[in-house]
Amino acid sequence: MEIRKTEVTKFNMGNIKFLITLLSVLFLSTGWGQADFISPKDVVSVDVFLSQDRVHRIEEVKFALVTEIKEGWHINANQVDSEFAIPTEIFIDSLEGVTARGSIFPEFERKQFPFSEDALPVFEG
């Protein structure tokens, strides 16, 4: 009888956290055109929280992107009413062995702006 050793691949949480942080910046890019002189980092901050510290193959892990928008600023909601509005989205690049499934956004607010006749769905600081 032959016994074979199988190699176990470790799931590098540092790489996952970096990827999630990078992707969260892309997620927030839809609201950055509000002013040319302010850095997006000054308007929106992002924290990433994982549901567990370690992940093993075939385990599910949930993560949350918690954003804080500076008071007086807004980003478009994930659901928009106008063909000209760009919805906020989360894009996750694939990693080997990682499958992303769905996203849940908070409820948006409808806010009136001078450039629109209708109140627009936004996330606001």
pLDDT band at 82, cuts 50/70/90? confident
Is 85 domain-assigned?
yes
Model pTM score: 0.59
Structure tokens belonging to residue 91: 């894009």
Beta bridge partners of 64: 49
Domain total for the chain?
Answer: 1
Please tell me the predicted confidence (pLDDT) of residue 31. Answer: 53
Is 22 domain-assigned?
yes
Give the DSSP per-residue string, 29-89: GGGGGG-SSS-HHHHEEEEEEES-S---TT----EEEEEEEPTT-EEE-SS-SSTTSPPP-
Over pLDDT 70: what percentage of the chain? 70
Please tell me the predicted confidence (pLDDT) of residue 115. Answer: 87
Is 7 domain-assigned?
no
Is 72 domain-assigned?
yes
Angle at the Cα of 122 from the Cα atoms of 121 and 125, rounded to 5 degrees? 150
Question: Domain limits at 51?
Answer: 13-124
Model confidence pLDDT, tens digit, residues 30-75: 554 444 577 877 888 888 888 888 877 778 888 888 889 999 898 8
- Whether residue 47 contacts residue 66, with contact meaning beta carbons closer than 8 Å, is answered with yes
Is 53 domain-assigned?
yes
Classify residue 58 by its DSSP letter.
T
Is 71 domain-assigned?
yes
58: left (phi over 0), alpha (psi -120 to 50) or beta: left
Is 119 domain-assigned?
yes
Q: What is the mean pLDDT of residues 13-21?
A: 65
Is 6 domain-assigned?
no
Please tell me the predicted confidence (pLDDT) of residue 107. Answer: 93
